[in-house]
Structure 1
Amino acid sequence: MTPENNVLIGIDWADSKHDFHLFAPDGNVQTGIFRQAPEAIAEQIQSWRNDHPGATFAVAIEASKGALINALLQFDDVVIYPINPAALAYLRKSHRHGGGKSDPVDARRIAEFLRERMDELRPLHQDSPLTRELAGLSEGRRIAVDARADLANELTALIKQYYPMISGFSAAKPYASFLLSFLIQYPTLATAQAAGEATLRSYFHGLNMKRKADKLAKLIVSAKPVTTDSVVLRCSSRRAIMIAQQLQVLNKHIRSYEAAIKELLPQHPQYAVAASMPGTAANTQARIIAAMGDGEGRYKSAKSLQCASGIAPITEQSGKRKFVIARWACTKFLRQTFHEMAGLSITKSRWAKAYYEDQKAKGKPVNTAKRALAYKWQRILFRCWQSGTPYNEDRYIESLRRAGSPLYAKIQTLA
């Protein structure tokens, strides 16, 4: 975009309407409001085009996704600059120390922010449809997994209160399919014992649990109730059935997400690089692709990746005091991706295990050690992504040997 042809627009968005403040190349200012409706947005864009033929519209907005963003992305002459809300909050306070806020004024502040710092801001870039779909699937799956974890914890706590015998099933996961099916079929110990040992044995056979069928049937029949209060049993069992059915639905959709990810993942041009990261399976590989973006990626340097993901720490200095703290201003899903990737690599990468053990030996907490490991992995991943070359463990360890890295000696002690 050439500066003399830029129309700078700040938008203070809302659910139903949006205030805008426009700076034209000739210095004229325009303000107004338009509705959150496809036809209203199209009409507003056309109005700007009529007033400024051939111009490029640089739009600053405190969002990177949403209905308005989706609508604006359809116009080739609109370039979107997402603004960090925290940055605008500090700017707003610098003008109004006592607080105070209005949509038209906020739109003007956003436009002024864009005018003053446009060279420092990065326009919103849309990845390829495949990358965006993998990103959407990964995020959707994670939301479902987190919801499942919350419900599973709730169910576990509830079962302890009225049906502790189920803990004797020794299910690997509290949302295991067989456990949920049993709980829905027999929501109280009394209903299970009333079915009888033979019926219970047949039930577990039907769940393909022949090896455990006899043991579980005997366990149920001989169990003693923790309570016989009919009110507690009725209320608790009703709630347990509700949670179990919700978990069944989440299990189904999580499997669906994972199947879609596995189908699309090999089609991505950077799949080989993502798949070469030690310890990663399909879900983590998809998250790596979502984090890094298309081609050479969305980051100018490994440092920008480390900062954007929150893996790089922050150094604060005031007078003689200097200390390092964790970086919390980041996308949590992005930080989680690399933190989990580092954890997975420990079991499959020799140098990663040696580095992690060395960090713990220095007294670092587990999460701090993993974050430090993720910091190193991001440098490696960035280089691999830039060149399109899959990671090679032996080649990297050899480079450590040639460089005389102390880590190489530690790798030998673990071999």
Structure 2
Amino acid sequence: MKAYNINDFAALIGIDWADTKHDICEYPINTQKYHYCIIKSKPEAFHDWAMSLKQRYPNQQIAVACELKKGPLIYALAKYSHLTLFTINPSSVANYRKAFTPSNAKDDPSDALIQVEILTLHMDKLTVIEPESAAMRSLAQLVEYRRSLVQDSVDLSNKITATLKNYYPQALEWFKEKDTFIFCDFISKWPSLTKVKRVKKQTLLDFFNSHNSHYSQVNDARILSIKSAMPLTEDIGVIEPNQLLVEVLIAQYRVLLKGIESLDKAIKLAYKSHDDKVIFDSFPGAGPQLAPRLLVAFGSNRERYKDASELQKYAGIAPVIERSGKKMWTHWRYSCPTFLRQTFVEWAGFSIRYSFWAKAYYEQQKSKGKPHNSIIRSLAFKWIRILFRCWKTSMPYDESKYLEALKRRGSPLLKFAVNS
């Protein structure tokens, strides 16, 4: 990644964004003066402002700082080749303001000025936003949106479960998995125990078969349980409002499940077109959901990270070490892209089931009394180094080669690998 300094630019600009307008501080290098302006949060206003910069600074680059890495502002500015976008962590701006404004007063032009000052003094420490290809950016948004919808579905499932427990808990026993259309359709059709007990056995069998539930033992057990079930309560003051709420929640849940299904198809199609697919498919436990997320985590630009440690720190997987006097302590890295960290941590957890050495490492650390979450984070730290090597060399992962390397080094993991 290219290192920049202020002499590479004709002007430095800080933008403090808002929903309806953006405050801008412009610092032309050759004048030593600050100019302030406000532009509306509209595509036409963005374009007019960006093109005016191009006219005033012909054939020159302009450095623009903002507290975002994505979103409408970045999408609007990224298409202009004469703008180089730098991202500044919002907490850095807030801490800078506190250092020089004891009253803790905040106003937008001041924040834009602070961004320019940080650009002037610390440009070499800032990250330049270098957009990936359109295909990679599309996949990145798809996998993040899917993860968000999955979390929404979990929250909604918990609400449905809690509501059914109030008046109709038997339905939760008949369907162990809630994120299915058979569960949604069953509750929609028979939202109370009273209604389902009136139904004939053949009607229930037809329902189960129409939803591809063909296990006779499971279906017979459900029907037997339905016919013998005893109501939790017969109080209509409890049943009717809870039944109404469940019907509303189920309707929402079905829409979410269909949305996730649609995103899965789009992700599969988009992921298939990437050349690096073969690399990320090779990692144990990645699967159709996590392999695309791992691809997005690395991107296609092989010069994006100098080494694995840069990614470990950026993703928030590498711990922060602090020292004061004779004391030293480590803690969780707070400032990092949350979704990126989730990707590595979630996949590391899955890898234990599919990777021989990952399972051995987990057992080794567990024997030392380490808690589960700490082990998974440590495992993610180790995996990133392996992922980085495969990504950098464009070589798929080979578990047997890694185990051979452990054997050559006489790794103590081998003892746990044998026992696990």
In structure 2, the residue matched to 1:150 is 155
1:84 matched to 2:94: no
1:65 matched to 2:70: yes
Q: 1:297 to 1:55 in 2, by over 3 A?
A: closer
| Aligned residue pair count | 413
Question: Shift of residue 335 of structure 1?
Answer: 0.9
CA deviation map 1:215-249 (0-9, x unaligned): 32222122111111112211111110111111111
Q: 1:115 to 1:237 in 2, by over 3 A?
A: same
In structure 1, the residue matched to 2:11 is 7
Match for 1:317 among 308, 323, 333? 323
Equivalent position amino acid for 2:35 in 1: Q
Distance 1:330 1:167 in 2: 38
Q: 1:202 to 1:311 in 2, by over 3 A?
A: same
Distance 1:201 1:351 in 2: 46
TM-score norm. by structure 2 comes to 0.94
Equivalent position amino acid for 2:354 in 1: K
| Conservation of the 8 A alpha-carbon contact between 2:279 and 2:391 | yes
CA deviation map 1:279-314 (0-9, x unaligned): 110210100011111142632211111111111111
Alignment of 1:104-123 (within 5 A): 104-123=109-128
| Conservation of the 8 A alpha-carbon contact between 1:297 and 1:385 | no
In structure 2, the residue matched to 1:180 is 184
Match for 1:306 among 308, 312, 315? 312
| Conservation of the 8 A alpha-carbon contact between 1:61 and 1:110 | yes
In structure 1, the residue matched to 2:172 is 167
| Conservation of the 8 A alpha-carbon contact between 1:163 and 1:189 | yes
Q: 1:275 to 1:208 in 2, by over 3 A?
A: closer
Distance 1:332 1:45 in 2: 31
> Which secondary structure state, in structure 1, belongs to the residue aligned with residue 330 of structure 2?
strand
| Conservation of the 8 A alpha-carbon contact between 1:18 and 1:36 | yes
Q: 1:179 to 1:5 in 2, by over 3 A?
A: closer
Distance 2:220 2:406 in 1: 56
Distance 2:71 2:180 in 1: 35
Q: Tell me the C-alpha RMSD between the 2 structures.
A: 1.6
**Unaligned ranges ≥5, structure 1:** none
Farther-moved stretch of structure 1 (214-223 vs 7-16): 214-223
CA deviation map 1:292-347 (0-9, x unaligned): 11142632211111111111111122222222222222111111111111112112
Alignment of 1:259-274 (within 5 A): 259-274=265-280
1:253 matched to 2:229: no
Q: 1:410 to 1:227 in 2, by over 3 A?
A: closer
In structure 2, the residue matched to 1:286 is 292
Equivalent position amino acid for 1:98 in 2: S
Question: Shift of residue 115 of structure 1?
Answer: 1.0
Alignment of 1:86-105 (within 5 A): 86-105=91-110
Equivalent position amino acid for 1:122 in 2: T
Distance 1:290 1:186 in 2: 43
Q: 1:291 to 1:4 in 2, by over 3 A?
A: closer
CA deviation map 1:59-87 (0-9, x unaligned): 00111112121111111101111110011
In structure 1, the residue matched to 2:34 is 29
> Which secondary structure state, in structure 1, belongs to the residue aligned with residue 395 of structure 2?
coil
CA deviation map 1:23-73 (0-9, x unaligned): 112123321111111111111122222322222111001111121211111
Distance 1:46 1:256 in 2: 39
Equivalent position amino acid for 1:41 in 2: F
Match for 2:417 among 401, 411, 415? 411
In structure 1, the residue matched to 2:381 is 375
Q: 1:400 to 1:214 in 2, by over 3 A?
A: closer
| Conservation of the 8 A alpha-carbon contact between 1:4 and 1:25 | no
| Conservation of the 8 A alpha-carbon contact between 1:284 and 1:337 | yes
Distance 2:285 2:207 in 1: 38
In structure 1, the residue matched to 2:238 is 232
In structure 1, the residue matched to 2:336 is 330
TM-score norm. by structure 1 comes to 0.95
Farther-moved stretch of structure 1 (64-73 vs 360-369): 64-73
| Conservation of the 8 A alpha-carbon contact between 1:11 and 1:20 | yes
Equivalent position amino acid for 2:382 in 1: K
| Percent of matched pairs sharing the same residue | 38
